[in-house]
Amino acid sequence: MAKDKVKEAPAGDAAEGEEGEGASAKKKLPMKMIIIGAVAAVLVLGGGGTAAMIFLKPKPDAEHAKANEHGKEKKKEKKGEKGKEEKTIGTIAEGPDGVLFYTMPNVVVNMQTADGRATFLKLKLTLEVPNQETVDLLEPNMPRLQDMFQTFLRELRPEDLQGSQGSYQLRMEILRRVNLVIAPSKVNAVLIEEMLIN
């Protein structure tokens, strides 16, 4: 009898284990189905809602449509007026003997220093330009010029700009670089209106 009890116990445990595995397998299948069903429901409802908004959107009446067309015409007129004004990036002033002075936006760069402390250079430059055609070449090339200034000026050290020799060399380098960008046109001179080193 003891042998029968021992044999029955493992057989019973195995039977319970089989039911446990079967039950967990049955639980996993409905959980997967629930997740798939939920995702499908979200997609169907989202797509249906979007389709309803697109297709059931109220259409404007004739008066509303005319008002919209009138508003669009006014916007087109304003855009045409703005195009005629020709927005300039810098300021232009007339000088003697027909030359123009084109004042560029301020240039601010972080300079190199031997001790690693932050030093900034702020430049206000004016270009002496022979005619309006050269100014018209400067405007669309302004991003190139600003990039050129940034890369060139960042390599300078404060010691490079000391004295009249330093500012003269800075002028000549900037003039050479500007003329390279707008070639075959040329700028007559670069004037440094303001140079601050902080």
Q: pLDDT tens across 68-102, in order? A: 555 555 444 444 444 444 556 778 888 888 889 99
Band of residue 65 on the pLDDT scale cut at 50, 70, 90: low
Residue boundaries of the structural domains of the chain: 2-82, 91-197
Q: Is 135 exposed, middle or buried (0-12, 13-18, 19+ CB in 10 A)?
A: buried
Confidence check: pLDDT of 107 > 50? yes
Q: From CA 123, how far away is CA 161, in angstroms rounded? A: 12
Q: How far apart are CA 142 and CA 153, in angstroms?
A: 16
Percent of the chain whose predicted confidence (pLDDT) is above 70: 68
More confident residue, 109 or 51: 109
Q: What is the pLDDT of residues 16-55, one digit of tens each?
A: 445 555 555 555 667 888 888 888 887 788 777 777 767 7
pLDDT at 178 > cutoff 50: yes
Query: Which region among 111-115, 148-152, 181-185 has the lowest average model confidence (pLDDT)?
Result: 111-115
Report d(CA 124, CA 101) in Å as an integer: 13
Phi-psi region of 86 (alpha: psi -120 to 50; beta: other; left: phi over 0): left
* Mean pLDDT, rounded, for 116-121: 83
- The number of beta carbons lying within 10 Å of the beta carbon of residue 153 is 20
pLDDT band at 124 (very low <50, low <70, confident <90, very high): very high
Closest CA to 187 of 101, 108, 124: 101
123 near 195, Cβ under 8 Å? yes
Q: How far is residue 180 from each of residues 41, 111, 138, 148, measured CA to CA in Å?
A: 64, 23, 12, 10
Which of 37-51, 96-110, 113-127 bottoms out in mean pLDDT, i.e. has the lowest?
37-51
Q: What is the pLDDT of residue 96?
A: 84
Q: Which residue has the tokens 């560029």?
A: 104
CATH topology of domain 91-197: Tetrahydropterin Synthase; Chain A (3.30.479)
Q: Where are the beta strands (DSSP E) in 78-151?
A: 91-94, 100-103, 107-111, 119-129
- Exposure string for 44-80, b = 16+ CB within 10 A, e = fewer: eeeeeeeeeeeeeeeeeeeeeeeeeeeeeeeeeeeee
